[in-house]
Structure 1
Amino acid sequence: MSTRLARMRDLVIRGRKALLPDGGTISKIPLLDMLAHNWHLGFISFGGPTVHFQMFRELFVEKYGWLDDTAYDELFGLCQALSGPGSTKMLYIINVMHYGFDCGVAAFFVWSLPMAIASWGLAMGVGQIQDELPGPAYALLSGLNSATVGIVALAAVQLSQKAITDRLTRTIVFLGGTAGMLYNALWYFPVLIAVGGLMTTISDLRLVQRSWRALSRDQPPPRQADDDINLETLEQRREASSVRHRTSRQDEAQPPQEQQSQSKLLSWKTGVIVLTSFFVSFAIVMACRGIYSDRNRAFDLFANMYLAGTIIFGGGPVVIPLLREYIVTPGWVSSRDFLLGLAIVQAFPGPNFNFAVYLGALAVQGSSTPTIGGAATAFLGIFVPGMWLATGLLGIWSSVRKAHAVRAALRGVHAAAVGLVFTAVYRLFEIGYLDAEVRNGGSLSRDPWWVVIVATSFVGGMHYKLPPPAAILLGAVMGLIWYAVVRA
């Protein structure tokens, strides 16, 4: 009788998992199951990569249970250490680990295509408008930008709560955020991320202490300190043994789901081949870019986007100044259209890299390439490098992730990347205001009302559970209210 009851209970549990979108298998067909768990993300993920990372943690760790907090933090640091779109790589990697590469690629398109198509449509509309927008339109766009800054700031605070595990990581978050505000160059952000990883590696592996012991090994300590030194050495050995014991227990007690995820990844040899092939492709594209420059607008666009997607670290907020240099400086897109599209696309859900789709459609206007061709070219050029690198690294990740030095470095990379999110908040704040006289973007501090919208978005999300789409809409309404009161 008890056996029958146990079987009935198991059937009920399985039935509930099949009906509820929690993390259980909804369909035996992996593609359909992936769609059931991912189809909506490209439509509701407002706020940019910072908010996306927080949303993915709530979804894939807390709700679905596909990962634990430690694995998620490792993947976050890994995605920040690689160039390309951060949150897109994260979603892709999680789905590859859970379903396999075919469904991972499908999840990438499910995530990115909806707003990529919307960005192409936006470019078609912007290409037809006059040089100057009406006043209410500028006020609405400034309100959208203000609300976005508040959402990103809230996500930065939430991410920092996970990244800060001790005094050192708190210091790295602080230094990453403040140092990122002081200077802006393509090489600068990768250096800050690398320094964060180096700091935690030195600390966790006790490299300074070991070096000091090696240098002072020939110098015997004073007799009166023998007992203290022996006690200190014994305590350090106990601590190291405890850490190794916990690590070995975690590896031995690895959940079957994680073991199954690792079995779906490439071998390390295939991963090396994939990474090598990418660098070969990059060298070929850059060589052709130098030889055949200015002969075909579509190829120039693809080469510039391919270069941008390869050298950008830090995700969406970092791509903005680089795309300005590669698209506006050659004269393909006007500065007004660049900032106008930036203000609107930032209010779109999904990846911020879709801004490249908008620019690609505008860049080919007047050439032999149709606008949809320019949009597709920019889409592939900006996304392919990061996804290619992530695919190759997945092959060797299972072999190196257990190394203590790698985990120590990722802890610092994670903290430094979160610090740069606060830098992104500052830079978005400084270009959020738009009007007929400030077409290149001005600081939201020009009027206290925009700061009020930032604060409303932040406090609404933190204390009143205001969802990002509602915060974006509220920001737009408050922008129009400002125009009615001040300018009308």
Structure 2
Amino acid sequence: MEDTHRSNQTYGDQIWDLVLRTYDLGFTSFGGPPSHFHIFHRRFVEEGSKRPWIDEQTYLELFAICQALPGPASTKMFFCIALLRAGFLAAMLAFLIWSLPGAIAMFSLAIGVRRIGEVLPAPAYALLSGLNAATVGIIAVAAVQLARKAITDPLSRLLVTLGGCAGVCYNALWYFPTIMVLGGSTTLIWDCWLRAKWGRFLARRQQARQSANPSRVVEENEAPATDITSRETSSIALVRRNVAPAAAGETPASPATPRPESRISVVYGLVIIVVFFAMFAGVMVARALASNAPRTFQLFSNMFLAGTVIFGGGPVVIPLLREYVVQPGWVSPRDFLIGLAIIQACPGPNFNFAVFLGALTLPLTPASMALGALIGFSGIFAPGLILSVGFQSLWRALRSKPAVVSILRGINATAVGLVFTAVYRLWEIGYLTVDEGQGISLGKNPWWVAVTAGTFVMGDSFGVPAAVAILSGGVLGLAWWGVVGARGG
């Protein structure tokens, strides 16, 4: 049994197990947060032969919590899984394993960008466009797969749809958190209040029909009102059981899969949360009062603010980072878009984009670039990880409450809808040319539409790994340039 095995493990054994299970993720997790969530489910929930770390319900709860907290969603998810598995030090090790490969790659890119001219060779734009188009297809695959898991009843289907539509129509710092709060409030009202009223209404209507026509016999193909209510109630029960939706095509977690508990007490969790918000207030006050503060502090405060107020992960943080580093003149629009194209094709968290931007913000010497990269890295990741530690300790006391489970069901469905928003926004800036360095919609060129659609089919229908699919997009981009671009077409 898994519980017995875990109890017999020393702390060193747990660390070694974590390294063996996660050492490759920083190099192979392509496709951004939506793909990352699918990878985590496959790696830590489904693999029964390798002793799953968490059960299906814990995974769904962590997903909703990480979406509801600010910061990099997939990084928080990975950090929380490792924290539950082996404690804080193991979680920090997992975070470094997860984030450092992509961070080093983005720092190397920043060094290279400082040495290139204002205009890239035409094949480079074709390569970047192909990588972007393929990445959009991979993210679309992950969005569809997450939706299959999140949709358990008509209400969750409606929330996924409305979340995606609302996210496409508008974008602001306060907007995405508000959408998720509305989603959680909707399921809370329905599950804890309206569902019972609706069931009683259907029961009374059926009784009235039977009173009006006592001889009427209910046909076999007509479901009684009580059955309707029962089917509706099953949606929330599905979230509370350790069972994956059958539509997802996944294997349910084994009954022996452990239900890990937080290793941090509620008191310490509350202290961590209070200290964090005190620190955040101090940084923001200093940011407002110090008009001539050093650029290092301005960079840290901007990244710290971004990591605290951004909900929804990497695709959501891009517009805010652009405002924080391009408008002050720290990073050129061309360099920003080059980094944006490359980060989509890099493994690991999209928040590593802050490493690239931080290095370009302090470009005087290699040492100053390294300092800027470190400031960007620590500033943008710290808020989400700190809050994850604090709130995970509170979850043990909250997760048994039906109202909390209901709220998380709505947050989960709405957050999955916002993943489709990320697909749309990346689609709209995915095509780069020598003349159009601001990014053009992939829909402007049929070839990039074909690359995106082909990548989607490769990932969804044939299970092609994300890394292979994205590299294929880059090759197809170069092929397009060889046939059309080189002739000026």
TM bracket (short chain):
0.7 to 0.9
Rounded to whole Å, the distance in 2 between the matches of 1:67 and 1:341 is 35
Task: Report sequence identity in percent.
Answer: 50
TM-score between the two structures when normalised by the length of structure 1: 0.86
Secondary structure class of the residue paired with 2:384: helix
Tell me if 1:205 matches 2:203.
no
1:58 to 19, 42, 46: 42
Q: 1:38-117 counterparts in 2 under 5 A?
A: 38-63=22-47, 64-117=51-104
Letter in 1 for 2:166: A
Displacement of 1:369 in angstroms is 7.0
Tell me if 1:180 matches 2:174.
no
Letter in 2 for 1:135: A
Rounded to whole Å, the distance in 1 between the matches of 2:333 and 2:24 is 33
Displacement of 1:342 in angstroms is 0.6
CA contact (8 A) 1:26 1:33 kept: no
Counterpart position of 2:428: 430
CA contact (8 A) 1:26 1:36 kept: no
2:307 to 306, 309, 314: 309
Displacement of 1:394 in angstroms is 0.9
Shift in CA distance, 157/28, structure 1 to aligned 2, threshold 3 Å = same
2:441 to 440, 443, 454: 443
CA contact (8 A) 2:184 2:411 kept: yes
Secondary structure class of the residue paired with 2:484: helix
Secondary structure class of the residue paired with 1:466: coil
Letter in 2 for 1:484: G
Rounded to whole Å, the distance in 2 between the matches of 1:237 and 1:167 is 14
TM-score between the two structures when normalised by the length of structure 2: 0.86
Displacement of 1:248 in angstroms is 11
Rounded to whole Å, the distance in 2 between the matches of 1:236 and 1:445 is 44
Shift in CA distance, 226/132, structure 1 to aligned 2, threshold 3 Å = closer
Rounded to whole Å, the distance in 2 between the matches of 1:256 and 1:465 is 28
Letter in 2 for 1:351: P
Secondary structure class of the residue paired with 1:55: helix
CA contact (8 A) 1:265 1:394 kept: no
CA contact (8 A) 2:130 2:451 kept: yes
CA contact (8 A) 2:199 2:225 kept: no
Shift in CA distance, 35/235, structure 1 to aligned 2, threshold 3 Å = closer
Rounded to whole Å, the distance in 1 between the matches of 2:455 and 2:11 is 38
Q: Deviations over 1:387-439 (max 9, x none)?
A: 00000001110000110000001011010011000010000000000011110
Letter in 1 for 2:438: N
CA contact (8 A) 2:64 2:408 kept: yes
Tell me if 1:121 matches 2:105.
no
Rounded to whole Å, the distance in 2 between the matches of 1:144 and 1:467 is 14
Q: Deviations over 1:180-234 (max 9, x none)?
A: 1111111111111111111111111124756999xx9xxxx99x85998xx9899
Letter in 2 for 1:58: R
Q: Unpaired segments of 5 or more residues in structure 2?
A: 212-223, 244-253
Counterpart position of 2:141: 154
Q: 1:240-389 counterparts in 2 under 5 A?
A: 258=258, 261-262=260-261, 264-366=262-364, 370-389=368-387
Displacement of 1:473 in angstroms is 1.0
CA contact (8 A) 2:199 2:226 kept: no
1:421 to 414, 419, 422: 419
Counterpart position of 1:464: 462
Letter in 2 for 1:340: I
Counterpart position of 1:476: 474
Rounded to whole Å, the distance in 2 between the matches of 1:238 and 1:481 is 52
Rounded to whole Å, the distance in 2 between the matches of 1:169 and 1:266 is 32
2:124 to 137, 140, 146: 137
Displacement of 1:67 in angstroms is 1.7
CA contact (8 A) 2:78 2:95 kept: yes
Shift in CA distance, 368/57, structure 1 to aligned 2, threshold 3 Å = closer
Displacement of 1:294 in angstroms is 3.4
Counterpart position of 1:394: 392
Displacement of 1:266 in angstroms is 1.2
CA contact (8 A) 1:298 1:369 kept: no
CA contact (8 A) 1:144 1:343 kept: yes
Rounded to whole Å, the distance in 2 between the matches of 1:367 and 1:330 is 20
Shift in CA distance, 25/145, structure 1 to aligned 2, threshold 3 Å = farther
Secondary structure class of the residue paired with 1:206: helix
Q: State how many pairs are aligned.
A: 454
Shift in CA distance, 333/294, structure 1 to aligned 2, threshold 3 Å = farther
CA contact (8 A) 1:294 1:300 kept: no
Rounded to whole Å, the distance in 1 between the matches of 2:479 and 2:173 is 39
Secondary structure class of the residue paired with 2:434: coil
Displacement of 1:51 in angstroms is 0.2
Rounded to whole Å, the distance in 2 between the matches of 1:404 and 1:99 is 28
Rounded to whole Å, the distance in 2 between the matches of 1:74 and 1:257 is 15
Counterpart position of 1:34: 18
Shift in CA distance, 366/165, structure 1 to aligned 2, threshold 3 Å = same
Rounded to whole Å, the distance in 2 between the matches of 1:60 and 1:208 is 34
Rounded to whole Å, the distance in 1 between the matches of 2:15 and 2:242 is 34
Rounded to whole Å, the distance in 2 between the matches of 1:166 and 1:234 is 14
Shift in CA distance, 269/455, structure 1 to aligned 2, threshold 3 Å = same
Q: Unpaired segments of 5 or more residues in structure 1?
A: 1-9, 19-23
Rounded to whole Å, the distance in 2 between the matches of 1:455 and 1:235 is 39
